[in-house]
Amino acid sequence: MKLDSGEVLAIASNKMGHGDDKLGKILIKSFIHVLTESEKVAGTIVFYNSGVLLAENDSACLDDLKLLEKNGVEILLCGTCADYYNISDKISAGKISNMRVIVEKLENAGKIIKP
């Protein structure tokens, strides 16, 4: 797995797309899993709004996020969002950050991907 340090993946929801929520959760899980199998991956993944729920202890995506992190992907979670969902003490992948750092990552990215 090669990291692209100029690329940032921004995940704003615990679902992918609009429509059926159950399908959206299946899709985001599959999307994150496919990242672990990709040859090139964004160097940073930022999670905000309900996206932070994907890094929670019982998330279906947790193993894949831990694998990405182990392989050097920087995983940043919006602290305000984690507080809002009352999960700050239940995060098992990535690190709690703040909106200033997230904005800087997005501003300095050569490419932003948003599923």
At residue 28 the predicted structure's pLDDT band, cuts being 50, 70 and 90, is very high
What's the CATH number for 2-113? 3.40.1260.10
Provide the 8-state DSSP code for 63: H
Q: Using CA of residue 113, residue 5, residue 26, residue 33, what is the dihedral sign?
A: positive
| pLDDT score, position 1 | 85
Strand order in the sheet with 95-97: 95-97, 74-78, 40-47, 2-11, 111-113
Residue 21 has pLDDT above 90, yes or no: yes
Strands 74-78, 2-11: pairing is: unpaired
pTM of the predicted model, to two decimals?
0.94
Helix intervals (H) in the chain: 21-37, 62-70, 79-84, 99-108
79/56 Cα distance (integer angstroms): 13
Q: Tell me the average pLDDT across 44-54.
A: 98
